[in-house]
Chains A and B, each alone.
Chain A
Amino acid sequence: MSLTTEQVRHVAHLARLGLDEVQIDSLSTQLGDILGLVDALSKADTASVTPMAHPLDMGQRGRADVVTESDRREAYQAIAPSAQDGLYRVPRVIE
């Protein structure tokens, strides 16, 4: 089993992941191999099984609705590739 290069390109787009032609080629085989490995799951009888999303079957913990975070904007923006006036800079999105 292997994926077509078209399928690989589509998934890469969904993941916003830039790939070159060589990577696309090798991924179409490798993804096929990995999907071949996980295909064993389809034979398991899970008709009456509840999916397990959390290893301890815990619910979400609540907390009091109070502010616990301090303002650390400057420290966080100091490591940004490009920030200005407290904002993150990206290429223009509105023409």
Chain B
Amino acid sequence: MHKDSLAALAEGLRSRRFSSRELTEHFLKRIEQYDEALNSYVTVTAERALAQADAADAQIAKGEGGPLTGIPLAHKDLFCTNGVRTACGSKMLDNFIAPYDAHIVELLDAAGMVTLGKVNMDEFAMGSSTETSYYGPTRNPWDTDRVPGGSSGGSVAAVAAGLAPVATATDTGGSIRQPAALTGLTGIKPTYGRVSRYGMVAFASSLDQAGVVAHSAEDAALVLQAMAGFDMRDSTCVERPVDDYAAALGNDIRGLKIGLPSQYFGDGLDPQVRAAVDAAAAELETLGATLTPIELPNTPLSVPTYYVVAPAEASSNLSRFDGVRYGHRCAEPANLEDLYKRSRGEGFGSEVKRRIMVGTYVLSHGYYDAYYLQAQKVRRLIADDFARAFEQVDVILGPTTQGTAFALGEQTDDPVTMYLNDIYTIAANLAGLPAMSIPCGQSAGLPIGLQLIGRHFDEGRLLNVAHAYQQVSDWHAQWPEAYA
């Protein structure tokens, strides 16, 4: 059952071949069997899951429910879940039992989905390897000596190993796409504002966006459909109808104009990754798409821009963790300043501290114009590059990452090397564009990801292109042998 598509699972539930309770028990058993080695789950909510499964079974028995009723999923541990710990990979929130649900948790609960548990992540979503989690690193099911990518490493490891059929995730600079690429999954980061951020622990508010990791574009489309839409409680959520993603999947891609940015195929790109991405582009060409070389000249500035904007916003967002209202508080504070400083010093890990420090520095008196304001200007240059490119092409295609999954511990000593992991993914966040990663090959047994970037609110088209490719390829159907 764990290798079935969401549509096949829904069909199995409706035709009573199995119940939601049986399906849920199957995944809970797999978590018990396999997760000790992978460490993808931080909290397993078995009791709650079985209660949700029974409710789904009752609905199905009455002939009610929708395409997701009774299907299990895992939530990244930064989506608040009422009554369940939401730790965000941090000691700071190790004792935090969320007193309300995130908007997307409400929506997916209402769609009848069953929450198996909360999955691991880099602390406060700051990282590209899931090694900064307070709960220890998550391992890549394709090779447990390697990282699954990050920050949504728990989401991808759980789905890639069949410990959940699908999972929610978030992407601030590549945190859905890079881990999806490193584990052979399909991941989509929607347009900024497409999905409500209400109840999602904030990292960088002008970049954060929630999305999905799944085994196929078809599965991702189903879940994204249920998550997207307007919500008053997120002031940046966009009031605009949601496209019918399932309907878009079947569109003909003949005549589609695909742009290949020269900056995404330059130095640093692993030749095997390049070959796989080139082959996938050629495959799309045989399906009737046209390939056009394009230029995104400000691409080299995207990582520097991000490492001003994101830490600046993070330092401001994370000021709420002060040891007063929730989260970690130090023992026996001498005074209020000591309470703040020690609670934060003890509660945050080293990567989070680094980013708070960078953010505080670039926002501080005398440096604001040189760093923060300048970064916001360059951000517009980067967004303008895309606007110009989308006058010529419908979709932009390139690699998601420069290489395949790296070894645990390989990059932890050098923050700057780790930051460069997101060189191809960050620009889409800065410009607020939808983007996805789909598997397009393997190198030495490790998955390779292909990135697609679209115009604002063009998620349907991205899913369409991904689905068209997945109809003529089987990279998305590959499983790591030990978990098949």
Contact = CB atoms under 8 A, between A and B. Distances in A.
Interface of A: 3, 8, 11-12, 14-20, 23, 27, 30-31, 33-42, 44, 46, 49-56, 58, 60-61, 63, 68, 72, 75-76, 78-82, 88, 90-93
B226 interface: no
B353 A23 contact: yes
The A contact surface, by secondary structure, is loop
B305 to A, nearest CB: 7
Contact of B361 (A11, A36, A49, A50): A11
B336 A90 contact: yes
Interface stretch (B28-36, B106-114, B378-386): B378-386
Contacts of B335: 91-93
Given A31-B354, A52-B379, A19 B206 contact: no
B354 A44 contact: no
B364 A40 contact: no
A42 B341 contact: no
Interface string B301-317: 10111011000000100
Contacts of A30: 354, 415
A91 B336 contact: yes
Q: How would you classify the secondary structure of chain B's contact residues: helix, strand, loop or mixed?
A: helix
Contacts of A90: 324, 333, 336, 339
B354 A82 contact: no
B409 interface: no
Interface string B349-372: 010011011101110100000110
The contact size tier of chain B is 35 or more
B357 A27 contact: yes
Given A40-B304, A72-B99, 16 more contacts: A18-B342, A31-B358, A41-B301, A41-B371, A44-B298, A50-B380, A55-B432, A56-B192, A56-B236, A72-B100, A81-B326, A88-B324, A90-B339, A91-B333, A91-B334, A91-B335
Given A18-B344, A27-B354, A80-B326, A44 B206 contact: no
B324 A80 contact: yes
Interface string B43-65: 00000000000000000000000
Given A23-B353, A38-B307, A91-B339, A15 B378 contact: no
Interface string B403-445: 0000000000001100100000000011110000000000000
15 contacts: A8-B357, A15-B360, A19-B353, A27-B353, A27-B354, A27-B357, A30-B354, A31-B361, A38-B371, A42-B370, A44-B377, A46-B377, A88-B325, A90-B339, A93-B336
Interface of B: 95-97, 99-100, 191-193, 206-207, 232, 235-236, 238-239, 298, 300-301, 303-305, 307-308, 315, 319, 322-329, 333-342, 344-346, 348, 350, 353-354, 356-358, 360-362, 364, 370-371, 373-381, 383, 415-416, 419, 429-432, 456
A30 B336 CA distance: 29
A87 B289 CA distance: 63
A21 B327 CA distance: 25
Contacts of B383: 52, 55
Contacts of A92: 335
Contact of A53 (B238, B339, B346, B376): B376
A68 B189 CA distance: 30
A33 B381 contact: no
Contact of A81 (B324, B342, B378): B324
A83 B258 CA distance: 58
Given A30-B354, A75-B99, A37 B329 contact: no
